Amino acid sequence: MGLARYIAFRALLIIPTILLLYTLVFIVLRVLPGNPVLAALGTKNIPEEQLKALMRELGLDKPLYQQYFEYLINFLRGDMGYSMIIRGRPIANDIADKFPATLELAIWAMVMSFALGVGFGYVAGKSRGTALKHIARLYGSITYIIFIPALGLFLQLLFGRWLGVLPTGGRLSPGIYINSITGLYTIDSLLQGDFNTFADAIKHIILPSLTLGLVLSGPFTRLTLSNMERVLGSKIVVAYRARGVREEVIARHVFKHALIPIVTYLGLQFALLLGGAVLTETTFNWPGLGTYLVDKIMYRDYTAIQAVVILFAFLVGVISLMTDVAYALIDPRVRY
Amino acid sequence: MTLNIYTVIGLAVILVIVLMALLADFIAPYSPVEASGMELESPNPLHIMGTDNLGRDVFSRVVYGARTVIVVVLIAVILSGVIGTVLGLVSGYISGVLDKILSFVMDSIYAFPSLILAIALSVALGPNIFNAAVAIAITYIPTYFRMVRGQVLSIKNESFVEMARALGLPITRIMARYILPQLTQTLVVVFSMNSADAVLTEAALSFFGLTVQPPTPDWGFDLYKGRGFILSGAWWMLIFPGGMITLLALGFALLSEGVSQSYVVKEGE
Amino acid sequence: MSEVLLVEDLYVKYYTRRGIISAVSGVTFDVIKGEMLAVVGESGSGKSTLGYAIMRLLPRSGAVERGRIVLDGEDILRLSEEELRRIRGGKVSMVFQDPFTTLDPLRRVLDQFREFLAEHGIDAERGRIIAEEMLEAVGVPKNLANAYPHQLSGGQKQRVAIAMAIALNPLLVIADEPTTALDVVIQRQVMDLLDDVKKRGTSIMFITHDIALAIERADRVMIMYGGEVMELAEKSMLAKRALHPYTVGLLSSMPRIGSEKLPSSIPGYPPDLRSPPKGCIFHPRCPYATERCRTVKPILSEVEKNHFVKCHLVKAL
């Protein structure tokens, strides 16, 4: 099988996963108690007639199977539907608005966790003693227990309140505006050559991405360390040395070997990243999809929740596809 | 099994916090829900962890707050452990269509961010302690399911299991006597790792106000409230509840690390 | 007579969790220009350790305790890391047992070759020419130069390894069981290739457990047991008149065409090198062992011209 066919095959596999999650969310939302109309109004004292009218307007009076398929078909047509709470507001607009914020946070957090985690693992893996290796292993297996809001708020206290060098929330300081191109402010500001805005955007994203990145960095450290150790002890390295190749150059080649299992892990990390983003966004008032989703869950905005869940499932699927392809590109032994 | 240093430290931390929850009535100097001082007092001899914005003793709230998290974690982990293990045993042992469907459902749940699922479930079920525990439990079932199923698949064709089958022992008996005992090691490790995770998920649900209702003390919710007082510099409202969440999760994480290390050593010998 | 390598009274120990292992004890020998010296022994005899010690590539648990290793007039044990690096692959190079694990599977053959040359100060353009020439010389098809190692057969990989080992015209190639992982036909081809290398004037230290192959291919054969040299002689001498009981045992354990006798193996086990036996290291397995063998260590002595034996029972002729 060629690479293109493999990608197509893997892409097809995303569909049943999305369908299943949509079905799951649909059932959870409909079968379990709770009603978006009442939740939106915040009261149960509403005349029967008015409630029915509202339900009809939102399509909630139709049989469940009809609601299920109508939403699905509309979604496939690219219509994510309208909010059930803020009437007349298209979900697609909300998502277009919030998604770039989450994407930007996710990218920077990935960069942070990769740099911290892989960097630490690399240094510990190269070190000759065992002390650093022990510390790295422990770091690797316990960083995930850091409670994101606890760390995030502590960093806000430290850098925002006590040292006063970094802002405690939001994406930009008040009074700073940006013309959105990609929606990723650190990139948009650079594209427009506006370095003040760029600096401001960076300042705002440091703490959230550091918080999320630190929590997710542990497995990278562990994987890098154990892979470096494995490859450094292999005959490949002895053979490199026997050819008189310099240690720095060997370390670079070894790192490539160590990277392969890490790349596979990136895909798995992504689901954790989305979960962590919800907490990080809330902690730092980051106007992204995570906060949006929690908000909509609280109000039982069915259409909005369904749309975000499908989007998340899609993202998880696409990222795992991308990591598989990246894996194939790094390791020439992989066949399809 | 030799006791690993991590196991000892982890167990000690967990034990201290459990005792604190059990003996809260004797340890806490004040009521956790009534004002016992001025608003936002910084730590002082009368209030060693200061007071919150309503003048309540933070230390007393921290002590009582341990109860919420421990109850939720206990229920969640036991529930998911039992259900996940049973489903995994059945699915792995019987195979066929049921196995395929269950595996697919479990894999899909597993792939989805568990925290988001837990939030959605606990909102749908209604915010209270028990529902929060159930919501957390559901998100962890796949972890046990996948692990147990995988082990069953590799064990079930071993000679001693085939012998038991040939003897005509009932399936339930084969599972209980021959398969389950083989799984205990892995289950202990997953169980403690899961508990660490459950502490964090409970704290997250509390952070969003999905477990207890105010004024009941709860670390996650107290941390959320403390967030509003960062600019007032009321660090004690953040550090103590946040620190306790991390400490308890750390206890379980060390326990799991220690237990898995002693198993590895044992296998290596 | 010009010697390329001189090893004098070499001791190597491994410090492991289970104890200190005396892997090589008091080994002295030389390699002459343009010859193939076969080092024969069972696993654990210290023959590979010897090779790695000469390359200064012992694992971290291993250390040279005593002795001299002189390559081309320079004591290798006194060189700095950087000087060593230049010598490895330059004056002395190594071919390993398993070509499947020694080439980097993630990088193209030609890239690895050129990197090796570049590390020895050869510029990119000349490196490419040399690499292509060498690969052609060892019989690797041109179109495979840009392949990844997994696309090559075992024999082709070993050819690549040999091509790299001889690219810089080293004085000595240490070949550590270079054919063990290969099938018989390929084995023959690789040995022929090593013969060609020898004809170019490069000395070869051929490490093997196969005494028949050693006698067939090498100029001189050195027999090792328990980290010590038991016998060292020209191959014709050894084939005609092996003197050490261990060598005799090895020779009779190899099957011969036309012989009525079944091959017999030497009874007993190799010594535990954490606490080697007193006296002659071979005495527990030696059918002729005397009281003296159990208490006094024999020394390696020249019993006839160019024939060295370490045994109390063999008198000078």
Distance set, CA B115 to CA A23, A147, B109, B140, B229 (Å): 18, 13, 11, 10, 26
Confidence (pLDDT) at A1:
54
Q: Do C104 and A331 touch (CB under 8 A)?
A: no
Chains that touch C (3 or more CB pairs under 8 A): A
Q: Is the pLDDT of residue C255 over 90?
A: no
Q: How far apart are CA C302 and CA C291, in angstroms?
A: 23
Contact indicator for C109, C134 with CB cutoff of 8 Å: no
Query: For the residues A248-269, what does the mean pLDDT come to?
Result: 83
Confidence (pLDDT) at B267:
44
Contact indicator for A288, A311 with CB cutoff of 8 Å: no
Chain A with chain B: Cβ pairs closer than 8 A: 136
Report the run of H or E that residue A257 belongs to, with start and end: helix A247-283
SS3 C289: coil
Confidence (pLDDT) at C116:
94
Q: What is the 8-class DSSP label of residue A157?
A: I
Query: For the residues A39-44, what does the mean pLDDT come to?
Result: 65
Chain A with chain C: Cβ pairs closer than 8 A: 66
Encode pLDDT of A130-189 as tens digits: 899 999 998 998 898 899 999 999 999 999 888 989 998 888 888 888 888 888 888 888
Measured from the Cβ of residue A89, the count of other Cβ atoms closer than 10 Å reads 14
Q: Do A274 and B113 touch (CB under 8 A)?
A: yes
Closest CA to B39 of B56, B58, B27: B56
Does this model's pTM top 0.80? no
Q: Is the pLDDT of residue A39 over 70?
A: no
Q: Do A245 and C106 touch (CB under 8 A)?
A: no
Confidence (pLDDT) at C317:
54
Chain A residue numbers with beta carbons less than 8 Å from the beta carbon of C107 are 253
Q: Is the pLDDT of residue A35 over 80?
A: no
Tell me if chain A has a CB within 8 Å of the CB of B231.
yes
How high is the ipTM of this complex? Answer: 0.90
When CB atoms are compared, the residue of C96, C115, C148 closest to A239 is: C96
Q: Do A244 and C85 touch (CB under 8 A)?
A: yes
What is the residue whose two structure tokens read 């961010």? B113
Query: For the residues B64-74, what does the mean pLDDT come to?
Result: 94
Confidence (pLDDT) at B2:
61
Chain B residue numbers with beta carbons less than 8 Å from the beta carbon of A161 are 230-231, 233
Confidence (pLDDT) at B268:
38
Chain A residue numbers with beta carbons less than 8 Å from the beta carbon of C79 are none
Contacts of A146 (CB under 8 A, 6+ apart): A214, A215, B246, B249
Structure tokens at C86: 């230049």
Q: Do B257 and A154 touch (CB under 8 A)?
A: no
Q: How far apart are CA B172 and CA B179, in angstroms?
A: 10
Tell me if chain A has a CB within 8 Å of the CB of B33.
no
Chain C residue numbers with beta carbons less than 8 Å from the beta carbon of A249 are 115, 119
Closest CA to A217 of A58, A109, A65, A68: A109
Chain C residue numbers with beta carbons less than 8 Å from the beta carbon of A333 are 105, 148, 150
Q: Do A147 and B246 touch (CB under 8 A)?
A: yes
Maximal C-alpha separation, chain C = 67
Cα-Cα-Cα-Cα dihedral of C155, C159, C162, C167, to 10°? -170
What is the residue whose two structure tokens read 């991390």? B246
Encode pLDDT of A109-127 as tens digits: 999 999 999 999 999 988 8
Distance between A330 CA and the closest CA of chain C, angstroms: 8
Contacts of A336 (CB under 8 A, 6+ apart): A1, A2, A3, A5, A6, A328
Q: Do C85 and A240 touch (CB under 8 A)?
A: no
Chains that touch B (3 or more CB pairs under 8 A): A
Encode pLDDT of B79-138 as tens digits: 999 999 999 988 988 888 999 889 888 887 887 778 888 888 888 787 889 999 999 999
Q: Is the pLDDT of residue B264 over 70?
A: no
Chain C residue numbers with beta carbons less than 8 Å from the beta carbon of A235 are 96, 98, 101-102
The chain A residue lying nearest B242, using CA atoms, is: A150
Q: Are chains A and B in touch, 3+ Cβ pairs below 8 Å?
A: yes
When CB atoms are compared, the residue of C93, C104, C120 closest to A253 is: C104
Contact indicator for C68, C6 with CB cutoff of 8 Å: yes
How confident is the prediction for chain A on average, in pLDDT? 84
Look at strands C220-225 and C36-40 and give their pairing: parallel
